[in-house]
Amino acid sequence: MFLVSEEFVASTHGSLGCITCHGGENAPDKAVAHTDMNPYPSRDYESTCSACHSDVTGDFDTAIHFNLNGMANGLSEYAGITSLSESPHHEEVFGNDCYKCHATCGDCHVSRPKNFSNGLVEQHTFQGTPSMENNCYACHNARNGGEFMGLVGFGSDVHFDAGMTCMDCHPVNNFHGTGEVPYDMWEVDLPSCTDCHTDKDPAVATDVEHKVHGDSLSCQVCHAQANNNCYECHLDEKADGSGLQSSSEMKIQFRVGYNPEPTEERPYKYVVLRHVPGQESMLEVVGENMMPNFDQKVNWNYSPSHNVQKSTFQNESCEACHTNTRIWLTEDDLRETDSEANKALIPALPPSLDH
């Protein structure tokens, strides 16, 4: 797992010497050699990577892969506070058990992320462009990454089938940051389908489907397949007491509802929804009433489903969607453990085609 290639040793990074980044001692005895050795030197990237790559790392503290702002702010909203810094207990829980998922330079460019599995991707050779299978999928496996590659749900994404990877759509600043601190991932300059499919932009589209629906539907409403939904997420102490672990029930579904938060970039009335992990008692293992604001925030969220196809069951015909009551979010989909706010997402049935 930690075999290093001769090619790496001879490379620019390799010529620095292991100890330059990892610490430890140049000694033949394993225990002595590993004294104070740091297996993850890029966690403190400013002391290591930044020495040469400050042009890349300069904005990394503003990247959500590093600061996990989306998760931190989501927890703050459930907790009814504006920032985790307002509640030392929430901040501690987040720091101990959530923040461990943040990415370091090495998690993408050298090894598999620690929380996925140990091991070097290419015997320590630095990958300028990370591996989709070993790096992106490692953290995004249960939803967008797994769906894109067809490992979760029913089928892969047409772009994956065409040989594309995450980095073909997501620009590098989605990972390295821009200097602006986003509130969550929706404030990141994410790619849009119409970046490439310019002729499908409702403003210029000439085909009837895109002209008629305009901005009322997100692309996924017609083109995504069923996605992975997590229910009853719960955190428990690990058996060895080293922290928390989560467990949840997963279900492949396809539900369309009202857009929880229309914005200028995503003004759609109807979007594909995804039930995200989270329920009011989720954090009871670390304290009581940790999420008093739970019912004010939806836990059926906008789903940027990454498993699109040109043809789907719901776009086979007008009736396949308009009269298909199975795809629309209803009261029956809401569980007792769900947020009350979800009720606002239940759409009126789509317009009849009889007129």
Partner 1 sequence: MSKPKVFNNWITSLVVVAVLGVAALGVYQFVIAPTLPEKQYSEVGGGEDKPFEFPSIDSSSCVACHTSEAVIAASDWGKDRPVAENTGG
Judged by CB under 8 A, does residue 18 bind partner 1?
yes
Size of the site for partner 1 (CB under 8 A): 45
* Binds partner 1 by CB under 8 A, chosen from 47, 82, 83, 115: 115
* Binds partner 1 by CB under 8 A, chosen from 109, 143, 159, 306: 143
* Binds partner 1 by CB under 8 A, chosen from 35, 44, 47, 51: 51
Distance from C-alpha of 68 to C-alpha of 91, rounded to nearest angstrom: 13
Positions in 21-40 near partner 1 (CB under 8 A): 22, 24-28, 30, 33
Judged by CB under 8 A, does residue 142 bind partner 1?
yes
* Binds partner 1 by CB under 8 A, chosen from 116, 186, 231, 313: 116
- What is the smallest separation between the CB atom of 7 and partner 1, expressed in angstroms? 10
- Binding characters for partner 1, 218-257, by CB under 8 A (x = yes): ------------x---------------x-x---------
Determine the interface stretch with partner 1 among 7-15, 81-89, 200-208, 265-273 (rule: CB under 8 A): 7-15
Distance from C-alpha of 104 to C-alpha of 110, rounded to nearest angstrom: 10
What is the contact surface with partner 1 in residues (CB under 8 A)?
1-6, 9, 12, 15-20, 22, 24-28, 30, 33, 51-55, 101, 113, 115-119, 138-143, 145, 230, 246, 248, 277
